[in-house]
Amino acid sequence: YLQNQLYQKDEILKLYYKGPFFRYERPQAGRERQFHQFGVEGFGSMNPAIDAEIIYLGNFILKTLGLKNFEILLGNVGCPVCRPKYEKLITSTLKEYCSQLCEDCKIRYSKNPLRMLDCKNENCRKYIKKIPPLSEYLCDDCRKHLKGIEELLTLLEIDYKVSPHLVRGLDYYTHTTFEFVYPSLAAQATLIGGGRYNNLVKEFGGPSIPACGFAGGMERIIAALKNEGKKLSQVSGLDVFIIPIGSNCFKAAFKLLQEIRAEGISSDMDYRESSSKSQMRRADKLQVLYTIIIGEDELGDGVVKLKEMKTGDEKNIKLENIIEELRKRLSHD
């Protein structure tokens, strides 16, 4: 966003990403050195509707995957106006218990008191519960922003819980925080987490632009799906699979494959000398939409056999018209 100066567009910009990531710190139980993550970012607006839309998107993704037993936690970590006062409250509340806290919390006590609220140590949790909810100390703007999100989530019929001590494990968050948690995964319960980071663009050298987003852990979501007995499909996304019958038809099939790909239609074929039954099983396993069967008789007549895999319907199509026929059918699909 900064390197390409996308902020110069002076508009609300919505981005997404996905891919492999790597942890620098030593991996803990259930946390791999390499993991896979997807996320979204919304730049350019302080409207709570952006926050609500991003939370709605996370809910939509998990629901679409078929996941049921997750919860949405919503919080607010304040802003530079109200947070310092609350951090002082944290240190004053925990001052007499500081020697009994874990080593991480002892460091956070002086460097970043707010992060103590995120501690998972059971002994520390006893003392953290003594701290009043952050929601009681929010400034008017933060309180108004949180209320705006709640109203919109209610409008969208999204179930959520306000979590008074919800903070994220990163220091740049302001205002909104939220997590999609799956309690059955225990310590690795957070499937999607995010919130607002209105000062982050500026801290990295850009202009002052508000931003909001989330990141989701693919391995954790897969673990949650498996926990609910959901089968993960192995769909390849192919539109067409070409099956040559006989070695004399291979070159014609290979040429047609490249022509179909040049039209932007995803397609493939089996490069092994397999039987037609074996190739059809391969197409079925890949869950392709259509197969094109090229035999010597068809080739001699200048036609190919087009089969719709879902219905089993077959039709002979002139070789010169097959791409046009595929375009027509795929546009309807």
Confidence of residue 50 (pLDDT cuts 50, 70, 90): very high
| 234 pLDDT higher than 70 | no
Q: How many CB atoms lie within 10 A of CB 39?
A: 18
DSSP 8-state secondary structure symbol assigned to residue 132: P
Higher pLDDT, residue 8 or 6: 6
For residue 190, what are the β-bridge partners? 181
> What are the tokens at 310?
């879902």
Q: What pTM, to 2 d.p., does this model score?
A: 0.72
Range with lowest mean pLDDT among 139-153, 210-224, 265-279: 265-279
Query: What's the rounded Cα separation, in Å, for the pair 161 and 234?
Result: 34
Query: What's the rounded Cα separation, in Å, for the pair 282 and 121?
Result: 51
Range with lowest mean pLDDT among 36-50, 73-87, 222-236: 222-236
DSSP 8-state secondary structure symbol assigned to residue 246: S
